[in-house]
Structure 1
Amino acid sequence: MKTNIGISEKNRKEVSDILGKLLADEFVLYTKTLRAHWNLEGHDFHTKHVFFEEHYDAIKLFTDSVAERIRKIGHYAPGTLKEFLNLTNLSEKYDGDNTSHDYTVALLKDHDSIIQYIRENLSKVGEDCKDVGSEDFLTGLMQEHEEMAWMLRATVAK
């Protein structure tokens, strides 16, 4: 059945495209956080192993919520690795060591990138596309990433 939620098809498509890129970013970040959890080495292994697990569990939920938001506005979510790699603003490449410091710095950079992407698109989604529901959703998700970034930043602060 046709989606009739008071937002034009053109605007829903534009929001869906923004959300699709965000979904790809979330999935890449989820994968990179899993890598950190799996491959971490060092004196703080146990603490950081648990820390990264908490983060990838949260990011998994973010990923699902973004995909569901795309469906709520009447579009299909990208769902293949190839699509995610074509859409993401992040790099899947990791050049650091298997230390908590290197993983934390890399993951923090990705969270900051996602926060910036969301912030750059808030007014487009809410004002230009007239989708205040998605704007509100994105604001909440941005706040979640800001909290995670704060936690990561605090662990590498000097």
Structure 2
Amino acid sequence: MEINIGIDETTRKDIAAGLSRLLADSYVLFLKTHNYHWNVTGPMFNSLHMMFEQQYTELFTAVDEIAERIRSLGEFAPGSFQRFNQLSQIQEEQDTPDADTMIRNLIAGQEAVVKTAREVVKIADAANDEPTLDLLTQRMQVHEKTAWMLRSLIAK
């Protein structure tokens, strides 16, 4: 059945493609954060272990919301590691870095998600796609705040 929500098909596809990149970035960041939660060591173990758990739990909820928005726009959400790796600008973690490097990597990942969201905002705003704009605004707020909190751990 045809979708008639006031956004033409081409624009819906463009928005969904941008959201697919956001989904991929978010999922790879979720995986990286979960990995760090399991493998962090050092004097900040307990606080980082708990902080990383809060972050990956929040990301787990977010990926579902992003995927459901893609489906609401009439497109299929990507759902494989291979596809996420193709779409994401965040690289999977291959090693077990020290805690300081973990924090720095997560800051870069949080900021990468914000940048992807900002790119999609332009398309959604031009289409007056308020539900997507609302989702993107929420995601940017969460990721900017998380990056700030992580940066605070390594501030000199």
1:103-114 aligned at under 5 Å gives the runs 103-114=102-113
Moved beyond 4 Å, runs of 4+: none
Match of 1:148 in 2: 146
- Are 1:96 and 1:102, in contact at CA under 8 Å, matched by a contact in 2? no
TM-score by length of 1: 0.92
Whole-angstrom distance in 2 between the partners of 1:124 and 1:9: 13
1:133 maps to which of 131, 134, 153: 131
Whole-angstrom distance in 2 between the partners of 1:136 and 1:21: 17
Q: How many residues were matched structurally?
A: 156
Match of 1:36 in 2: 36
- Are 1:36 and 1:98, in contact at CA under 8 Å, matched by a contact in 2? no
Whole-angstrom distance in 1 between the partners of 2:91 and 2:15: 23
Whole-angstrom distance in 2 between the partners of 1:94 and 1:113: 19
Matched residue SS, 1:145: helix
1:51-62 aligned at under 5 Å gives the runs 51-62=51-62
> What amino acid is the match of 1:137?
L
Q: CA deviation at 1:95?
A: 5.6
Whole-angstrom distance in 2 between the partners of 1:93 and 1:134: 29
Match of 1:80 in 2: 80
Alpha-carbon RMSD across the aligned residues, in angstroms, is 1.4
Matched residue SS, 1:49: helix
Whole-angstrom distance in 2 between the partners of 1:67 and 1:117: 15
> Can you list the C-alpha shifts for 1:23-50, whole angstroms capped at 9, x where unaligned?
0000000000011001111112111111
Match of 1:23 in 2: 23
Whole-angstrom distance in 2 between the partners of 1:92 and 1:46: 24
Whole-angstrom distance in 1 between the partners of 2:74 and 2:133: 16
Whole-angstrom distance in 1 between the partners of 2:113 and 2:107: 10
Whole-angstrom distance in 1 between the partners of 2:119 and 2:51: 29
> What amino acid is the match of 2:153?
T
Whole-angstrom distance in 2 between the partners of 1:93 and 1:54: 19
Whole-angstrom distance in 2 between the partners of 1:136 and 1:88: 22
Q: CA deviation at 1:98?
A: 3.0
Whole-angstrom distance in 2 between the partners of 1:149 and 1:120: 18
Whole-angstrom distance in 1 between the partners of 2:116 and 2:88: 11
1:89-104 aligned at under 5 Å gives the runs 89-93=89-93, 97-99=97-99, 101-104=100-103
